[in-house]
Chain A
Amino acid sequence: MLLMECVLHLYVSTVELSLDSPLNDRKKKDAVKPSLSAPAASVASSSSKAPSKTLEELEEEESEDKFDLNISVTNPEKVGDGMNAYMAYKVSTQTSLTMFRSKTFTVRRRFSDFLGLYEKLSEKHSQNGYIVPPPPEKSILGMTKVKVGKEDPSSAEFVERRRAALERYLQRVVSHPSLLQDPDVREFLEKEELPRAVSTQALSGAGFLKMLNKATDAVSKMTIKMNEQDVWFDEKIQDVENEEQHMRKLHVMVESLVNHRKELSGNTAVFAKSVAMLGSSEDNTALSRALSQLAEVEDRIEQLHQEQASNDFFTFSELLADYIRLLGAVKGCFDQRMKAWQRWQDAENMLQKKREAEAKLLWANKPDKLQQAKDEIAEWEAKVTQYEREFERISATVRKEVIRFDKEKARDFKRQIVKYLESLLNSQQQLIKYWEAFLPEAKAIA
């Protein structure tokens, strides 16, 4: 069945496995079946390679990821009035991890606090090649409506969207094993009062992306030739580009779907009322009753459409938006690595220059300047070694991060799809109930 094949192709293109890891010093073990791979039959055309020790390494790390930590963001509450008002959210944590002071605790945070957290994490970890999850976007329009006190469905929707996005953001941060160790994260979750985060302008959502895009452009303009070992990185950055493009396309289409479904829901409600009117003017009693029953069924179906629209939206549209931003962060990682490489290369060049200078001095026989030259050479030799090590370290980190990201992405989308299918299933069950109740009414028409 075509559908089955589609399902089986699910994971093939999202899980990329690498063959050699510079940090791998474990013994080769038997290939472990990856938890997300598709059965052998459909692997043929994909680019996934045989499971390796790197994956096993990751699986062990993943089990560490399965810690006990649940975070929820709830109870948005407006604090203050007028243009100085803001929304405060309840951030509740439930955990058995010993690094926290208690097992359950709650704090109140505002949006700028979240941005502040991101800023701190990004400052510390981006340069090491970590993928720091970007926070939700700022929205002047959305917030203004809330501040002004406009109580309409669109501002309620905005607040709910933001709440859900903040929750997802935090969940992503804490599910990153390295970021979780950062004291700023702990402080964010635990501390009663946080100092007001300032200067969150530059690094919020869109600003961040803009900065990244500029950096990417600058980098791609540099004609950097990287060596063979980095073919993996070349392929990966291309994949990330393609994926981002496709997600943007999909996001637009899903938004269109959400709108049409909302429209459908509205039109169904209007139609239901019309059918009820028709039923009341019908002079055959049984038909009249059947028509008013039909109106009720259509009304209930409208409810289902509404829920479906909200589902389509929250399940896919928002998830796609999240991942488009995340892919931006991934690109940022690659840029950081590029920068590290550049630093190393620059140091190599400088070292070369210093050696040439020394040679010139020797030839020109200027012994007094020679010591200085030797010192500089030593200095730059040390720098070269340092930068090379840093580059290797960041390369390893980026690689690990990207593999982890791919896995998490596959898991995220799979989870959402399962949720979505389950909600569709529920709808179908409801539909069956409604129509089964209606059928005898229709048959009773005489």
Chain B
Amino acid sequence: KFFIVDNSDKLILENTNPRAVNVDLQTDATLQVDISDALSERDKVKFTVHTKSTLPNFKQNEFSVVRQHEEFIWLHDSFVENEEYAGYIIPPAPPKPDFDASREKLQKLGEGEGSMTKEEFTKMKQELEAEYLAIFKKTVAMHEVFLCRVAAHPVLRKDLNFHVFLEYNQDLSVRGKNKKEKLEDFFKNVVKSADGVLVAGVKDVDDFFEHEKTFLLEYHNRVKDSSAKSDRMIRSHKSAADDINRIASTHSPLSCFQTLFPVQKIEARVAADEDLKLADLLKYYLRESQAAKDLLYRRGRALVDYENANKALDKARAKNKDVLQAETTQQVCCQKFEKISESAKQELIDFKTRRVAAFRKNLVELAELELKHAKGNLQLLQSCLGVLKGDT
């Protein structure tokens, strides 16, 4: 599936599997997007976004461009800031690629090269490279899932910015946000959450949305908790695996330790991989449930605006002043609110369907992988024991 070429501090990855890794999405022949390969350089990752489409909007049927993380963020933010999309769950932005920890480890290893045997060094290097590769694969998958979600969405897939993102083969020149803009964002979020509390307090007339609100608030918190705890669990697992690796690599006269630790290594590393499957799923739904909450917030805001517009209209009618203006405002608010409500309902139903499907897929795959590895380990252990016992 993945083909890697290692050039000291460059990693090139070719992904020949077009399906999204994490989320169960329907592939549509009219627009297929994937990340066909990626290149990791010192401090940035370059993704090759590959598109296949029969839509007339594009000049060709198949084409590729190179994009960096900031350009994905630009696209995501443009969706969020677009009033037209207020009634949709905006696919969550992929997290920034973070190789710092892994790179630091590799560097430390390089510095400590003199103090260990060639064998030890090679083994540790292999382990760290595998870790680096795993993180790299994950970030590619996260970016790919984002694009696939957009491509699968009936409205967002038609977005012009999206098409530009896919097709324009020059740099989009989207500089990262500078400090001032980041601060502005921060305050916007603070206001939003204060608002969010306010809006959430208003009981909704519509049972469906009232239920969704209660559900999402609780669900989001629980997912956040599970996600954090799965991370901690995986970290311990990795630490244990590192210990095992170190033990197995020591060149000791007591070479018997080298016998069982290949077995342990498999178990430890594999368990970590699967945990990652579970952890990734939780992280993704943490972001998705946040996006769903944001939708509810926007609807709630629109409802408040609508109710305020109603009150203003009543006041205007009572005073018989600026009635027409008040009526227009009220109508606009009403339309906006109803438009959001309609699409939001469908979005939330789809969200549930997607969530259930994704959990099913991942939990089934998790169980199947665990079984496969446990059975493999069992065989390995049995043959080990056979040799050891038969040796007497």
Contact = CB atoms under 8 A, between A and B. Distances in A.
Do A and B associate with each other? yes
A260 B250 contact: no
Interface string A409-443: 00001100110111011001101100110110011
B18 to A, nearest CB: 25
B247 A257 contact: yes
A443 B381 contact: no
Given A253-B243, A260-B236, A260-B240, A432 B252 contact: no
A250 B248 CA distance: 10
A152 to B, nearest CB: 22
B219 to A, nearest CB: 5
Contacts of B363: 290, 294, 438, 442, 445
Contacts of B368: 439
Nearest to A3: B262
Nearest to B236: A264
B236 A263 contact: yes
**A-side interface mostly:** helix
A264 B240 CA distance: 8
A24 interface: no
Interface string B246-263: 110010111111111011
A235 to B, nearest CB: 13
B387 A278 contact: no
Interface stretch (A77-85, A266-274, A388-396): A266-274
Interface stretch (B201-209, B227-235, B303-311, B326-334): B227-235
A98 interface: no
B225 interface: yes
A119 B364 CA distance: 62
A256 interface: yes
B115 to A, nearest CB: 12
A412 to B, nearest CB: 10
A436 B371 contact: yes
Contact of A421 (B215, B235, B381): B381
A249 B253 CA distance: 12
Instruction: Give the interface size bracket for A toward B.
Output: 35 or more
A6 B259 contact: yes
B388 A417 contact: yes
Q: Which of A3, A422, A443 has the most CB of B within 10 A?
A: A3
B226 A275 contact: yes
Interface in B181-228: 215, 218-219, 222-223, 225-226
A264 B236 CA distance: 5
B335 interface: no
Contact of A10 (B235, B259, B263): B259
A339 interface: no
Given A3-B384, A278-B222, A439-B371, A14 B364 contact: no
Contacts of A256: 243
A328 B219 CA distance: 60
Contact of B256 (A10, A277, A290): A10
B382 interface: yes
A445 B356 contact: yes
Given A253-B247, A424-B263, A247 B233 contact: no
Contact of A246 (B253, B383, B389, B391): B253
Given A287-B359, A428-B377, A442 B367 contact: yes
A263 B239 contact: yes
A281 to B, nearest CB: 5
Q: Which of B254, B263, B352, B360 has the most CB of A within 10 A?
A: B254
Interface string B349-384: 000100110011001101110110011011011111
B310 to A, nearest CB: 32
Given A13-B255, A253-B247, A274-B229, A435 B240 contact: no
A224 interface: no
A263 B377 CA distance: 23
Nearest to A444: B360
A217 interface: no
A2 interface: yes
B156 interface: no
B173 interface: no
A133 to B, nearest CB: 19
Contacts of B360: 287, 290, 442-443, 445-446
A278 B360 CA distance: 15
A260 B232 CA distance: 12
A379 interface: no
Contact of B374 (A2, A267, A432): A432
A337 interface: no
Contacts of B257: 250
Contacts of B371: 432, 435-436, 439
Contacts of A249: 250, 252
Nearest to B380: A3
B237 interface: yes
B255 A9 contact: yes
B244 interface: yes
B391 A14 contact: no
Given A6-B255, A432-B371, A445-B359, A274 B219 contact: no
B243 A260 contact: yes
Given A282-B219, A294-B363, A442-B363, A242 B388 contact: no
B392 interface: yes
A254 interface: yes
A277 B246 contact: no
B385 interface: yes
Contacts of B388: 7, 10, 414, 417-418, 421
B256 A257 contact: no
Contact of A7 (B232, B233, B384): B384
Interface in A17-49: 35-36, 38
Nearest to B372: A435
A162 interface: no
28 contacts: A3-B380, A6-B258, A239-B253, A246-B254, A253-B247, A256-B243, A257-B240, A257-B244, A264-B233, A264-B240, A267-B232, A270-B233, A271-B226, A271-B233, A277-B226, A278-B219, A278-B222, A281-B215, A281-B222, A284-B355, A413-B254, A414-B388, A417-B259, A422-B385, A431-B374, A435-B374, A442-B363, A443-B360
List 10 A-B pairs, minimum CB-CB distance, nearest first: A264-B236, A257-B243, A445-B360, A442-B363, A260-B240, A267-B233, A246-B252, A260-B239, A439-B367, A271-B229
Interface of A: 2-4, 6-14, 35-36, 38, 239, 242-243, 246-247, 249-250, 253-254, 256-257, 260-261, 263-264, 266-268, 270-271, 274-275, 277-278, 281-284, 286-287, 290-291, 294, 413-414, 417-418, 420-422, 424-425, 428-429, 431-432, 435-436, 438-439, 442-443, 445-446
Given A14-B256, A443-B364, 10 more contacts: A2-B262, A3-B262, A3-B380, A8-B387, A250-B250, A254-B243, A260-B236, A284-B355, A425-B385, A435-B367
